[in-house]
């Protein structure tokens, strides 16, 4: 606050005499605000030596796999680990009037029994996307592009299959016209052009 | 059908059709561009992005054909260049027709295939999480530690909005209320526990129902023993504001200081339910107001 105060008034602050909290809006509203932290500390919140600037900081773990916190005394810290994908496959499939792209992802989660929560996040581009999560079909939420699903922590593996398909009604025409040209060549026994 | 062909043979009618298709394409491109701008995103409903893949392919083919037809018409009508095809036999006509159908089908199917395989992937992320109780703060070391085991190669993040802090507020004792355009007794300042067991300050503004009148509720705590501040003193804020129905909500924290010369100054940090980011000075230069943008999701600030 020393720096902000000096930048604002070209003077150094000595002390704080009062603090005021306020909330407002046009009077046809009913709103609330929640402060989980409103703390004047003698040092900023730092984690592993990095100053924290957002509500969900990513941590760079050192060799000792320790998180070191300074600036704000904590009783419980909510730690989120993004698990590595064990298997990933992306392929395309053709049928007479349809092309499909199948994405398959697999995670081994047997080592996470001591965790509290397991959530899967992924993007869905089209409303017609088919989703299979551990062999159960799930429906995408049309309200949001980034989907979120809570998974039972007891699952020993998680398999997600994402299928997108497009109807290709002109593909039979391609095949038929190719055969027709071939037949025509046979009939007249020469290439037409 | 004959009547339709005779209409389409008319040069003027061809130009009208071409202009209509070009105008539709211009609308499509404009709505796509407008949808990138936050405040006018609703224009995207006029776009064609929600059409099924096949319809989009047909529309794009029609547009490309229109452009080629326009070039042909301009070459004939403006530059007086005309193409006189040599007369074809029935067999040649049939072969040419089959070739054209084949080319159009191959191009359209290839475009559909290309758009499918180049669609963004789902990019899934599996997150597992749990609470850890930090240890430490001993022998004069003001740090706390959390030891994570068996997490090699994984990304680790924290969620401060779900964490529980030992002493999260500097000032929340008894203070003075002031309010305007509220329902008496409905607006408040209180300290309570969240559903996760976190201690938190909750403030509510419940307006008296008047539209176009800005109301507010404030709670001021005067310190009997002023807080001395050093060079590293940092204000940490972790807050979330409910959005209003008309984008007029705000909240602030105002801190009154005495300078080393004994003069009174104030700093205000204000958060809205819409995006904004600017600074202004008021009260004859003795108060600086920092408007730090949208706070309808949890935000954290380390203000040094």
Average pLDDT for B43-67: 76
Residues B113 and B206 in one domain: no
Closest residue, chain B, to A80 (C-alpha)? B129
Residue B41 inside a domain? The answer is yes
Closest residue, chain B, to A153 (C-alpha)? B128
Please indicate if any CB of chain A lies within 8 Å of the CB of B55: no
> Domain tally for chain B?
3
Residue B133 inside a domain? The answer is no
| Contact residues on chain A for B206, CB-CB shorter than 8 A | 30
At A189 the pLDDT is 60
Of the residues B120, B237, B257, the best mutation for testing chain A's interface (the one with the most A CB atoms within 10 Å of its CB) is: B257
**Is residue A37 scored above 70 in pLDDT?**
yes
Q: Euclidean distance between the first and final Cα of chain B, in Å?
A: 77
The answer to whether B259 contacts A53, with C-beta atoms less than 8 Å apart, is no
Of the residues B86, B91, B127, B172, the best mutation for testing chain A's interface (the one with the most A CB atoms within 10 Å of its CB) is: B127
Please indicate if any CB of chain A lies within 8 Å of the CB of B188: no
Among the ranges given (A73-87, B36-50, B149-163), the one the predictor scored with the smallest mean pLDDT: B36-50
Residue B101 inside a domain? The answer is yes
Residue B123 inside a domain? The answer is no
What is the extent of the structural domain holding B80? Answer: 2-84
Average pLDDT for A91-109: 91
Count of CA atoms in the C-beta half-sphere (13 A) of B53? 26
User: What is the nearest CA distance from B187 to chain A, expressed in angstroms?
Assistant: 9
d(CA B150, CA B145): 17
pLDDT by residue (tens digit) across B92-145? 788 788 888 888 888 888 888 888 888 899 999 999 999 999 987 655 567 898
Closest residue, chain B, to A77 (C-alpha)? B163
A137 vs A64, more confident: A137
Residues B65 and B96 in one domain: no
**Is residue A111 scored above 80 in pLDDT?**
yes
**Average pLDDT value for chain B:** 87
Among the ranges given (B4-13, B103-112, B181-190), the one the predictor scored with the smallest mean pLDDT: B4-13
For helices A171-188 and B90-117, angle between their N-to-C axes, nearest 10 degrees: 150
pLDDT by residue (tens digit) across B9-53? 788 888 999 999 999 988 888 877 776 666 666 666 666 666 766
User: What is the nearest CA distance from A136 to chain B, expressed in angstroms?
Assistant: 17
**What is the pTM for the complete model shown?**
0.74
Please indicate if any CB of chain B lies within 8 Å of the CB of A140: no
Residue B164 inside a domain? The answer is yes
Write the ipTM: 0.83
Residues B254 and B270 in one domain: yes
At A193 the pLDDT is 47
At B267 the pLDDT is 96
Closest residue, chain A, to B141 (C-alpha)? A70
Banded pLDDT at B153 (limits 50, 70, 90): low
At B53 the pLDDT is 67
Residue B61 inside a domain? The answer is yes
At B175 the pLDDT is 92
Q: What share of chain B is helix, strand, coil (3-state, %, to 5)?
A: 30, 35, 35
pLDDT by residue (tens digit) across B230-248? 888 999 999 999 999 999 9
d(CA B168, CA B198): 9
At B43 the pLDDT is 66
d(CA A178, CA B217): 77
The answer to whether A170 contacts B109, with C-beta atoms less than 8 Å apart, is yes
Among the ranges given (A37-46, A121-130, A172-181), the one the predictor scored with the smallest mean pLDDT: A172-181
Residues B109 and B192 in one domain: no
Q: In the beta sheet, which residues pair with residue A100?
A: A93, A165
**Is residue A147 scored above 70 in pLDDT?**
yes
d(CA A70, CA A55): 16
Residues B51 and B173 in one domain: no
Residues B94 and B74 in one domain: no
Residue B288 inside a domain? The answer is yes
Instruction: Give the three-class secondary structure for B179.
Output: strand
Report angle CA B23, B25, B30 to the nearest 5 degrees: 95
Residues B191 and B207 in one domain: yes
Residues B193 and B111 in one domain: no
Residues B79 and B199 in one domain: no
At A78 the pLDDT is 95
Contact B303, A40 (CB under 8 A): no
**Average pLDDT value for chain A:** 89
Q: Is B296 exposed, middle or buried (0-12, 13-18, 19+ CB in 10 A)?
A: middle
At B88 the pLDDT is 79
**Is residue A186 scored above 60 in pLDDT?**
yes
At B137 the pLDDT is 64
Residues B154 and B41 in one domain: no
């Amino acid at each position: 606050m020393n720096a902000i105060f000096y930048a604002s008034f070209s003077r150094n602050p000595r002390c704080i005499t009062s603090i005021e909290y306020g909330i407002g809006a046009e009077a046809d509203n009913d709103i609330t605000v929640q402060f989980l932290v409103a703390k004047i500390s003698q040092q900023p919140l730092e984690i592993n030596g990095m100053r924290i600037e957002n509500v969900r900081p990513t941590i760079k773990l050192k060799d000792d796999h320790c998180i070191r916190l300074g600036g704000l005394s904590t009783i419980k810290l909510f730690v989120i680990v993004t698990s590595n994908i064990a298997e990933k496959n992306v392929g395309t499939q053709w049928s007479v009037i349809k092309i499909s792209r199948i994405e398959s992802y697999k995670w081994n989660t047997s080592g996470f029994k001591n965790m509290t929560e397991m959530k899967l996040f992924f993007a869905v581009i089209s409303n017609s996307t088919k989703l299979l999560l551990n062999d159960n079909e799930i429906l995408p939420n049309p309200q949001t592009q980034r989907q979120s699903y809570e998974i039972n922590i007891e699952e020993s593996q998680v398999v997600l299959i994402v299928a997108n398909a497009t109807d290709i009604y002109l593909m039979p025409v391609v095949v038929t016209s190719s055969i027709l040209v071939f037949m025509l060549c046979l009939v007249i026994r020469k290439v037409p052009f | 059908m004959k009547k339709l062909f005779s209409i389409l043979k008319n040069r003027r009618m061809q130009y009208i059709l071409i202009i209509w298709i070009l105008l539709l394409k211009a609308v499509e491109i404009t709505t796509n561009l407008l949808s990138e701008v936050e405040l006018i995103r609703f224009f995207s409903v006029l776009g064609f992005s929600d059409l099924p893949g096949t319809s989009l392919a047909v529309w794009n083919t029609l547009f490309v054909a229109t452009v080629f037809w326009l070039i042909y018409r301009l070459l004939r009508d403006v530059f007086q260049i005309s193409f006189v095809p040599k007369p074809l036999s029935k067999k040649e006509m049939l072969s040419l027709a089959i070739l054209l159908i084949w080319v159009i089908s191959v191009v359209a199917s290839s475009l559909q295939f290309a758009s499918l395989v180049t669609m963004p992937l789902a990019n899934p992320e599996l997150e597992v999480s749990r609470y850890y109780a930090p240890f430490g703060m001993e022998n004069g070391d003001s740090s706390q530690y959390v030891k994570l085991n068996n997490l090699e190669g994984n990304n680790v993040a924290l969620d401060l909005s779900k964490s529980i802090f030992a002493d999260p507020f500097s000032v929340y004792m008894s203070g003075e209320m002031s309010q305007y355009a509220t329902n008496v007794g409905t607006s408040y300042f209180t300290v309570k526990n969240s559903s996760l067991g976190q201690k938190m300050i909750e403030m509510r503004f419940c307006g008296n129902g008047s539209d176009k009148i800005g109301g507010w509720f404030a709670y001021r705590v005067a310190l009997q023993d002023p807080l001395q501040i050093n060079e590293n003193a940092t204000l940490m804020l972790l807050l979330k504001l409910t959005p209003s129905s008309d984008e007029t909500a705000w909240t602030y924290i105002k801190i009154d200081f005495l300078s080393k010369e004994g003069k009174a100054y104030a700093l205000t940090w204000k958060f809205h339910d819409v995006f904004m980011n600017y600074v202004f000075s008021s009260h004859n230069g003795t108060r600086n107001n920092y408007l730090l943008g949208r706070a309808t999701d949890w935000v954290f600030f380390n203000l040094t």
